[in-house]
Amino acid sequence: MPLKPIKIKHRLDKIKMDPKQALKAANNLIKGRWQKAEPYIMKDASAATDYATFVIKGAWKEAEPYIMKDANYAVLYAINVLHHRWLEGEPIIKKNSAAWKNYRNYFGIKKD
């Protein structure tokens, strides 16, 4: 008995709404940016940071307001994506003492 064809479009429509699954699909299946999934991916700080790091391989301005909501991912974004201090994210990073310490140490910022 032949297998039924997989409805790829239907599956992708479901996957794109799950930020982690959309990130995996963009990175492993599509092997590049997946614009239809980006509105979903950007709302998850973890997925957005990884998407910028591994898929875009650079800054993702549209996602930055979501990324900077989580101090730990803001630090990772600054280190792994921007490769320099992220002044806009620093007020959020400073609110998390462990994240601020890591950020300060990485970028050689003296204690306030």
What residue numbers bound the domain in which 30 lies? Answer: 8-107
51-101 tens-digit pLDDT: 999 999 999 999 999 999 999 999 999 999 999 999 999 999 999 999 999
Does residue 73 lie in a domain region? yes
Q: What pTM value is reported for the model?
A: 0.88
Per-residue tokens: 92: 């959020």
Q: pLDDT tens digits, residue range 40-57? A: 999 999 999 999 999 999
- Classify residue 52: in a domain, yes or no: yes
Domain count along the chain: 1
